[in-house]
Structure 1
Amino acid sequence: MKLVVLACLAAVAIAAPQSQDVIPVVQVLRDDRQDDGNGIFNYAFETENGIAMEASGTPGSQGQSNMQGSFRFVFPEGNAADVRYIADENGFQPQSDLLPTDHPLPAHVIDLIRMTEELRAAGATWDEQGRRLTR
């Protein structure tokens, strides 16, 4: 009998709701919106935890919305991430110190490219394996 009562208590303890992670409530400090209904719009918002976003848009030449704006958030370590962008006929073009950049080409590669351009200008051609066909 004691074993049955103990098993029932264990089952109730296991079935009890576990504590859920509490989602913090963040206050909105600013929320501005304007939409003219013709494809022209602006919006901006900012929250107390450092998240901010703003954008403005106009109709594009190919039926898309051309937009430009920025967004900002704070990493858990405390430093801020700032991104500015343009989105138009040429696609999404972000700008930020956080984005990776191309490494500069080594000097020998620049020399090889220059030599190849000089050979092409002189009429040289190459096959699919990269072997030069003409001099």
Structure 2
Amino acid sequence: MKCLLVFACLSIALCLAAPAPEADIIELVSEVNADNYNYKFETSDGTKQEQHGSLKNLGPEEDALQVAGSYSYTGDDGQTYAITYVADENGFQPQGEHIPHL
């Protein structure tokens, strides 16, 4: 569970560092519990992110963090890019219209 808390705190810290310097945070919601967490934020430049994570029991003495979320932002070309993802024992699995499908 310590790993979950550390991961959640690092994720939130990295995400808050991500907005451009000229963007203000207009919404921020964060909840961290012993076995799960949720957060979301939106900035004045239209960047949005939300994520939730929880522990998944893989066996008698093995837990894994499973995370799901999404983010969107406006690129330098003016287009809005949106990504949804899952990260679990199978790795990071992003999906988005601009991401090539394998």
User: Given the two structures, how large is their TM-score scaled by the length of structure 2?
Assistant: 0.70
After the TM superposition, which residues 82-93 of structure 1 pair with which residues of structure 2 at under 5 Å, given as runs? 82-93=82-93
Q: Distance in 2 between matches of 1:42 and 1:88?
A: 16
Q: Spell out, residue by residue over 1:1-44, the C-alpha distance to the aligned partner (whole angstroms, 9 max, x if none).
A: xxxxxxxxxxxxxxxxxxxxxx74311111000001x1300000
CA distance in 1, matches of 2:31, 2:83: 22
Unpaired runs of 5+ in structure 2?
Answer: 1-19
Higher relative contact order, structure no. (Cα contacts within 8 Å, ≥ 6 residues apart): 2
Q: Which residue is 2:49 aligned to?
A: 53
State the AA in 2 paired with 1:59: L
Q: Which residue of 2 aligns with 1:35?
A: 32
Larger radius of gyration: 1
Higher strand share: 2
Residues 1:66 and 2:62 are matched in the alignment: no
Counterparts of 1:1-135 in structure 2, within 5 Å, are 24-36=21-33, 38-61=34-57, 62-102=62-102
Q: Which runs of 5+ in 1 are unaligned?
A: 1-22, 103-135
Higher helix share: 1
Q: TM-score, normalised by structure 1?
A: 0.54
User: Which portions of structure 1, spanning 4 or more consecutive aligned residues, are displaced by more than 4 angstroms?
Assistant: none
Query: How many percent of aligned residue pairs carry the same amino acid?
Result: 29
Q: Deviations over 1:66-116 (max 9, x none)?
A: 1001011111121101000011111111111111124xxxxxxxxxxxxxx
